[in-house]
A and B are shown apart, each in its own frame.
Chain A
Amino acid sequence: KQEVTQIPAALSVPEGENLVLNCSFTDSAIYNLQWFRQDPGKGLTSLLLIQSSQREQTSGRLNASLDKSSGRSTLYIAASQPGDSATYLCAVSGSSNTGKLIFGQGTTLQVKP
């Protein structure tokens, strides 16, 4: 059974710092991995999608990497801003053709001005 873990559960950093969020999964047979952002009481905003054949994806100040063999992904946020404060969720799509996402519990990020 696929399990997704995100460490740490919470993170507080000063504005301007570069930071890394971690995601690990137990079954390397994934189809893709997606990173999301969730603000309190809101829906999820898709940040990056990495297909299983890819090693990384970049969007603006965000860079996500994928190491399928070790069951790990990282989300790198450069030059963090207070507006980056949110919960970041990692989700993997298994190899079965359902599209079902298995989510981690998330990392809640606070960026202090």
Chain B
Amino acid sequence: DGGITQSPKYLFRKEGQNVTLSCEQNLNHDAMYWYRQDPGQGLRLIYYSQIVNDFQKGDIAEGYSVSREKKESFPLTVTSAQKNPTAFYLCASSLRWDGEQFFGPGTRLTVL
């Protein structure tokens, strides 16, 4: 059963903590993306990766970091430098950078 999985579904972070959101795909897609969704702001791109071992900043990368050591995995770390991390985080992938993007179920992060 091919698709994109994200874990955990809900995540709570204390002030000053770093947390890592998982994104895994078994679609053999080259490109992967992280978006953030806030009410009234729509979705915004945080980071993207077109190929293993390479990634680029999106529009709102400050306070976030990523890695792409394996084709199927693209974890996102929300660092303590991110001032307003409470949001719904969505991971996506596409066969190539210009292909149809498919999304995971999302992780809702709340800062306590």
- A residues neighboring B (CB under 8 Å): 31-32, 34, 36, 41-46, 49, 89, 91, 93, 97-101, 103-106
Where chain A touches its partner, the secondary structure class is strand
Q: Is B97 a contact of A97 with CB atoms below 8 Å?
A: yes
Interface range, B side:
20 to 34
Chain A residues within 8 Å of B6, by CB: 43
Where chain B touches its partner, the secondary structure class is strand
Complex: A36 Cα to B43 Cα, angstroms: 12
Chain B residues within 8 Å of A32, by CB: 98
Q: Is A99 a contact of B97 with CB atoms below 8 Å?
A: yes
Q: Is B50 a contact of A99 with CB atoms below 8 Å?
A: yes
Q: List 21 A-B contacts (CB under 8 A).
A: A31-B98, A34-B100, A34-B101, A36-B103, A42-B106, A43-B90, A43-B106, A46-B100, A49-B100, A91-B43, A97-B97, A98-B48, A98-B56, A99-B33, A99-B97, A100-B45, A100-B48, A100-B58, A103-B42, A103-B44, A106-B42
Complex: A93 Cα to B102 Cα, angstroms: 14
Minimal beta-carbon separation of B59 from chain A (angstroms): 8
